[in-house]
Structures are given as structure tokens and as C-alpha cells.
Amino acid sequence: MKNLLFYGVLFILSLSLVSCSTDDDDNNPNNNAAEISQVEAAAETGTWRITSYVDSGEDETNDFNSFDFTFETNGTVTATNGVTTYAGTWSVTGDSSSSNDDDDGSNDSDLDFNISFPVAATDDFEDLNDDWDIVSYTDNTINLVDVDDDNPNDTETLVFQRN
């Protein structure tokens, strides 16, 4: 009788292990839908400025000092300094990385902040075109990073601050 009970419990345990997978959450594209909505809601409120842009150790924040950025709910972004206006697109998406580690080896958010301005390659705003990894965000600050896959020493950081 004890053998029957033992094998019955063993059988039930094996079924429960087969039916559960630790990868289920990682493969669900809707896992971070709530977090995506939070970032979008923050970005869509008010205007923003770039308080830091560092490209491979070079501080290039001054290229964007006079611009205010508006992230619209329809996926457009406008940057204007009162004289010049740039129009582009933006979105927040789940990171396409297959692991929880970002390119920089940290375990930051699995979200990308995508920016695209249709400008010439020589324009300063071309530097913003990327699928930035979100390092952190609040209602007033969005910290982003991009690490070159081919050269990990080639890192860009971008910080938006609400006006």
C-alpha cells in the first residue's frame, strides 16, 4: 500500500512539473504591457528636454540644449527650439533581447524607447535615432542607454527631464 501511495504522489508531482515552465513568462509579449503603459503615460505628459547625452565618453548635450520634446499619444515626437522644428516618431516596446540582461550586462528594464527622426546622417538629431534600453524612469526623468553590440566600449546615454 505504501508503494502505491508513493508512486501516486510521485506521478502527481511529475505531472505538475511538466505542466509548469519557467520560460512561460519570458515568452509572453504582454508581460510588460503595464510597464509600457506607465512609460508612455509619463512621456506623453508635458514637454521634455535632454539634460544629458553622452556618446562614447563625449558629452554632446549642448547639441540639444535649446529643444523641447513633445511625445504625442499618436506616436509622433516633435522637437522645437522656437526656430527649428523636427518631427519624428517614438514608441515604447518590449526589448527584443531573449534574456533579462541588457546589452550592458545589467538587469535593467526589458523595455526599449524607440526614437526616429527622418534626418540626414550628418544631422545631430540622427544621433537620437535608436532603440534605446530604458535604464530607469519616473514621472519626471527617463534614463536611456545604448551599447554597440560590436564594440561594448561604444556606449551612448541619454536622459530626458520633464520641463
Residue 38 included in any domain: no
Residue 87 included in any domain: yes
Residue 68 included in any domain: yes
Residue 25 included in any domain: no
Residue 1 included in any domain: no
Residue 132 included in any domain: yes
Mean pLDDT by 10 residues, the chain (163 residues): 49 44 45 93 98 96 97 98 97 70 49 98 97 96 92 92 98
CA distance 109 to 145: 11
Partner residues linked to 87 by β-bridges: 78
- Residue 58's Cβ-side half-sphere holds a number of Cα atoms within 13 Å equal to 7
CA distance 153 to 57: 9
The domain total for the chain is 1
Q: Write the DSSP assignment of 41-70 as a string of letters.
A: HHHTSS-EEEEEEEETTEE-GGGGTT-EEE
CATH of the domain at 137: 2.40.128
For the chain, strand residue ranges (E) read 48-55, 58-59, 68-71, 76-80, 85-94, 111-116, 130-137, 141-147, 155-162
The domain of 98 spans 43-162
Q: How far is CA 78 from CA 4, 46, 56, 75, in A?
A: 70, 12, 26, 10
Residue 29 included in any domain: no
pTM of this structure:
0.75
- What pLDDT, on the 0 to 100 scale, is given for residue 18? 41
Residue 82 included in any domain: yes
Close Cβ partners of 122 (under 8 Å, ≥ 6 residues apart): none
